[in-house]
Each structure stands twice: as structure tokens, then as C-alpha cells.
Amino acid sequence: MADGAKKSGCGCGVSIQNAELGGATNSICHGFTGGVAIGGGRRLRIPRVVLVCWDNFFVTTPAAVTSATLLVKDLVTGPFMNGLVQYGISRGSVNNPITLDTKTFPAPVTWDSNGNADQTQVLAFVNNNNISPKPAVNEGSLIFLFLLPTTTTLTNGNNANGTPNTNVCGWHHAAKFNSSSKDDDLFWAVVRTDGAPKTSGTAFVNSVAFCVGHELVEAFTDRDSGGYIASNGCEIGDICELNNFGYRTWTSVEQYWSNWDRACINGDKPVSMRQYMSARKLNPAAGLRALHTPVISTDWMASTL
């Protein structure tokens, strides 16, 4: 059972007009070149993602679940993770998807990034075994990724005129589930789908691919505001949220910030051995023998950083 769960770690605010000029939710982050720094060191170093597809649409259109699963696997187990090596993040794994029918689990009308509605709902799902597995004590890998009901609107506070700010496509949050855990151990990310086209499962998922990638990389590198974050509160996705690239079959996936490059990068960019060795404070002139390992892979490099 969860005890005293609290909200922490919000990677909220990626613009729903991502492919256009974007809104003002994360405008302070756009073009920021100050980089990110490690806080308490709390990351999801070898992420294990549980995809939760929550809507009757996913029941009636199983192709959407198939496409969503493929997207998450392409991101989490593929070269999109290459650039995260510098933050000590290895390629992860993806559990079998979970489908929740809104006929059984009614959709909320609206959620705000600063409220507790999503936390209350996620805790209820876990405690009632609607989603699984339950987080282990001191969990540091598991994260639930929700594709929200098509009738749910996300907000991020109010605009200057007092109207709800709907210029947000998702966020990631954390809470404590096990009382004996040292830090927060329940992690989740939510992505809105109320504007996604229902013409096909692929079109539906492709329209939110940018947000899925954004929230995942931020949750991996800054799971509860104790990981990699800039001095102005920006995370690696916030800085680059207006920059997209085509990745595998997906037309628009976001770039993310690279401290090594001091720029936004395509996540599948090959890892530079020179940059890696420099980060390890090893002289590249000494050659690969300086690494003292018979195997060199992105996962191995991530584990040493």
C-alpha cells in the first residue's frame, strides 16, 4: 500500500504545437545553452517501461496498441537512447502493454500538472492491481507510461487572463509507494491524445510520438527532480522541444539536449568515443586499451558514467 505519497519531479509543459512555433509553457527553455547538471543522481539508469493504453479506442482499435508498443520499443530499446549514454542511461526494456477500457475506468475530464489527480489515479491503479508490477522497495527502473483517454484534457495552471493553459501535451511525476524506500519509488508519465486522429492506429500514435519521446527521456534522466536538470529548471527535452527529426518509421520525434555537444541532437546519433573518453577523463591518445575492457557497447559506456 502507498503511504503519504507526494508529487515530485514534473517534466511538464511540452507544447502541443510542437511542430509549429510552440507556446509559452516552456519558452524560458527554448534556446537555453547553459546545459544540465546532475543533482542527487536519481535517474532511471536501466529503464523498464510499462505502456498503459487507457481508452475504449484501444479496445476497439487493437492496431493502435500495436503501434504504440512499437513506438515505445523503438525509442527505449533502439538507437534513440544513444545520446543518453552521457547521462548514464542504458537502453531499457518494455513490458507487455496494458489496456484499460474507459467503460470500466472512466476518463477524467481534465488534469492539471500542479494537482494531485494523476497521482491519486495512478496509486489507485497500482493498489487495485489494474496495472502491474508494483514498485519494489527503492525502485529505480520501473516507469508507467500512460496514453491518456481521448476525452481528457491536460492543463498547466492558468493563462494571464485566467483561462486554463492547455498548451501542454504531457508530464512525468513521482511519488513514494513503499514506506521503506529511501526516495520516491513510483514513477509515471502521461501523454494526452485528445487531438490524435483516429483514422488508423499508426496515425494516432505517430501524432503523439514527439511527446512520448520527450517525457521518456526526461523521466529517465530526471526521475524526481533529483537527476539532470538546468539551473533554470529546464530538463533535456524542454530545451529542444521545438526541434524534431524523423526516427525509423516515425515522422516527428523530438531531439534532446546533449551536454557533450552543447546542442540539441538526434537521439540516434552515434556515440563519440572521443567525447566518452574525455568524460571519463581518459586521454584519447592512449587508445581503447585505456578502457581496460574486452567489450565496448553503449550500455557498458552508460554504466561507467
What is the predicted pLDDT for the residue at 293? 78
Let me know if 245 is exposed, middle or buried by CB neighbors in 10 A (0-12, 13-18, 19+). middle
Lowest mean pLDDT among 122-126, 269-273, 279-283: 279-283
* pLDDT, tens digit, 9 for 90 and up, residues 4-44: 333 344 445 444 444 332 345 688 899 899 999 999 999 99
Q: pLDDT class for 2, splitting at 50, 70, 90?
A: very low
pLDDT tens-place string over residues 172-186: 999 999 999 999 999
pLDDT at 11: 47
Counting residues of the chain whose pLDDT is more than 70, the rounded percentage is: 91
| Alpha helical stretches, state H, the chain | 56-60, 62-76, 117-127, 201-206, 209-221, 273-279, 298-303
Average pLDDT score over the chain:
91
Reply yes or no on whether the pLDDT at 88 is more than 60.
Answer: yes
d(CA 227, CA 217): 12
**Rounded-to-integer distance, Cα 30 and Cα 241, Å:** 7
> What is the model's pLDDT at position 206?
97
- Is this structure's pTM higher than 0.85? yes
Model pLDDT, residue 25 = 66
**pLDDT at site 292:** 80
Q: How far apart are CA 173 and CA 278, in angstroms?
A: 33
Contact 110, 190 (CB under 8 A): no
pLDDT (mean) for 103-130: 97
C-alpha 112: how far from chain center:
18
Q: How far apart are alpha carbons 299 and 294 in whole angstroms?
A: 14
Query: Tens of pLDDT along 190-202?
Result: 999 999 999 999 9
When mean pLDDT is compared across 54-63, 91-100, 181-190, 276-285, the lowest value belongs to 276-285
State the pLDDT confidence band at 282, using cuts at 50, 70 and 90. Answer: confident
Q: State the Cα–Cα distance between residues 224 and 9, nearest whole angstrom.
A: 4
Mean pLDDT computed over 130-153:
98
What is the set of domains in the chain, with CATH numbers?
37-270 (3.40.390), 272-305 (no CATH)
Judge whether residue 237 has pLDDT over 60: yes
Q: Is the pLDDT of residue 241 over 70?
A: yes
Amino acid at 205: V
Buried b (16+ CB within 10 A) or exposed e, 257-288: bbbbeeebbbbbeebeeebbbebeebeeeeee
The confidence score (pLDDT) of residue 18 equals 40
